[in-house]
Amino acid sequence: MAAASCLLSEDQFLCCICLDVFTDPVTIPCGHNFCKNCITEHWNVNVAWKCPMCKEVFTTRPELHINTFISEMVAQFRQSALQEACSSSSSEKQVSKPGDVPCDVCTGTKLKALKSCLVCLVSYCETHLEPHLTASGLKRHQLIDPVENLEGRMCTKHDKPLELFCKTDQTCVCMLCTVLDHKMHNTVPLKEGYEGKKAELEAEIQQMIQKRRLKIEEIKQSVGLSEEDADREIAEGVEIFTSLKESVDRGLKELIDTIEEKQRTTEQQAEGFIKELEQDISELIKRRTEVEQLSRSEDHLHLLQSVQCLNGAPPMKDWTEVSIHPQYDGTIRRAVNQLEEKLSKEMKKLLEAELKRVQQYAINVTLDPDTAHPTLILSDDGKQLNPGDIQKNLPNNPERFSLNPCVLGKQSFSSGRFYFEVQVNGKTEWDLGVARESINRKQDIPLSPDEGYWTIWLRRRIKYKALTDPPVRLSLKSRPQKVGVFVDYEEGLVSFYDVDAAVLIYSFTGCCFSEKLFPYFNPGLNDGGKNSAPLIISPVNHIEWTDHF
């Protein structure tokens, strides 16, 4: 028998209700075995006379008798398990170590607990566990592998073991809970609840893993696309800067050639002058020689007549005003101006390409009437915004601006890039940009990034400012008729463009976005009709860009 008992496992003697080794095992007519107390309480609480295992329902309450054979087998199994545990504990001396559950009864040196009792709420070592294995009254107590915090395994309301799992409320309950607070709820044994919850958690974790794998693929794909964009940007940059470098090199060569040509002309002119002067000197030396010869003659008449002949010789050139002036004045300035003109053309091409790149992120923006100040006049299609003088009677909802004539777009963004264009021609003042969701809409708050606004404005027809802290005055060569607004959420960038001139007006950089961003519009006050022109959002299909970008 001892040899046979070694082949038995604890699973063969577990009650499916309490999930512990049988105590007073009984067999019901369908052949399944349970602790006598467990099946009795189960029938008192749940559907009467129904087997928890096979669900067979009996017409009359079965009479319960202790199954002596299983009872003896259980006792032998307990004894064998105890001997094995005691043998193991003796070899290890069972002194409680960090991480072990100590015996609650030991005084002085705490020994390692072998079992915990759900009835006594006490953990026992080998010595102190023996009464639970021998005393008839304690044999009925439910023993489990040693655990800490036994109080947590008891129902705080009924002071009973948590033996069931309520699927309805997703919580562990005791037998009395199923009669009272969870009477009509779907309750199952802890093991079944554990298996269900385990499967549910595994499925949820698997789903989370799958989502993250998909996100990895998405990121890898984005990196691939980014790499293609980077290669294209590098190629375009190399092409543009090579062209610029060639322009500079050509300009420098032309400048050097011009200066050298002027130097050669100067040298040739100087050589001509020197040759003429040397000829004059030779002629003068000749005349001086003739004068010296005449001065030796005593024939005064002949001398005077000869001097008159000398005076009648062709006159020589007056060299008083003759000089060499290098013709370099303005040469470098003219060369730099020509180079600047070329560079301006190249820069214009570069800016046009940049604008086309951001225009590919154009989105269909419409105005949100629920945020509009009561004086504003919005078109039915949400694309046109006029300042008004009459305050309409509108609900003062939390989203609506109460003091300033502002309105937000319906569309919000918390990632990626987006772009929109607004016609501003004919206006004397306006504000444009983006704002975060949590901005104060009920008070007169200065527009700045600290307050959640990234905007530029026009005042008095010609004064442009970027509303940083403090504001930056903008010097523009021309008045924009259409303004483009581009946002790169992850990059922390908000840029404004003069669309017609393809010129960057201003960029907010290094922004830290943590909320949704909304397009922001303020057409300014009507000002007696001087500023009555509307702000008009350009439809996406009117924003043109080439397929190359």
544 confidence band (pLDDT: 50, 70, 90): low
Kindly report each contact of residues 311-314 with a partner whose C-beta sits within 8 Å and lies 24 or more positions away, as own/partner.
313/287
**Pairing between strand 472-474 and 463-466?**
antiparallel
Q: Which residue has the higher pLDDT, 243 or 235?
A: 235
Average pLDDT, the chain: 83
pLDDT digits (tens, 9 = 90+) for 502-540: 889 999 999 999 999 999 999 988 888 888 899 999 987
The confidence score (pLDDT) of residue 16 equals 84
What was the pLDDT predicted at 53?
Answer: 85
Give the CA radius of gyration of the chain. Answer: 51
Q: State pLDDT tens for residues 279-299.
A: 888 888 887 887 777 777 666
For residue 501, give every residue at least 6 positions away whose Cβ sits within 8 Å of its Cβ, in sequence order, or none: 477, 478, 480
**pLDDT at 2 exceeding the cut of 60:** no
Average pLDDT over residues 223-241: 81
Which residue has 């005076």 as its token pair?
Answer: 311
Average pLDDT over residues 227-241: 81
Which pLDDT score, from 0 to 100, does residue 7 have? 53
What pLDDT is recorded for position 513? 92
What's the mean pLDDT in 77-89? 65
Statement: residue 485 has pLDDT above 90 = yes
Q: What percent of the chain clears pLDDT 90, i.e. is strictly above it?
A: 22
pLDDT at residue number 289: 83
Tell me what pLDDT residue 493 has. Answer: 93
Write down the pLDDT at residue 21.
83
Least confident range from 117-126, 181-190, 537-546: namely 537-546
pLDDT of residue 5: 43
pLDDT bin (cut points 50, 70, 90) of residue 489 is: very high
Across 50-54, 289-293, 370-374, 435-439, least confident range:
289-293
Which residues are registered as beta bridge partners of 171? 166
- For the entire predicted model, the pTM comes to 0.49
Region 24-37: mean pLDDT is 90
| Residue 116 per-residue DSSP state | E
pLDDT value, residue 520:
96
pLDDT reported for residue 391 = 85
Which of the four pLDDT bands, split at 50, 70 and 90, describes residue 14? confident
Show the beta-strand stretches assigned E in 50-181: 115-117, 122-124, 143-144, 164-166, 171-173
Q: What is the pLDDT of residue 305?
A: 67
pLDDT in tens, 378-391: 998 999 999 988 88
Over the stretch 45-67, which tens digit does the pLDDT of each residue have? 776 788 888 888 888 888 888 88
Q: Which tens digit of pLDDT belongs to each residue from 451-469? A: 999 999 999 888 999 999 8
Tell me what percent of the residues of the chain surpass a pLDDT of 70: 89
The whole-angstrom distance between residue 48's C-alpha and the CA centroid of its chain comes to 60
Residue scoring higher pLDDT (84 or 409): 409
Task: Compute the distance between CA of residue 2 and CA of residue 6 in angstroms, rounded to an integer.
Answer: 7
Q: What is the reported pLDDT for 308? A: 63
Q: What are phi and psi of 118, to 5 degrees?
A: -80, -10
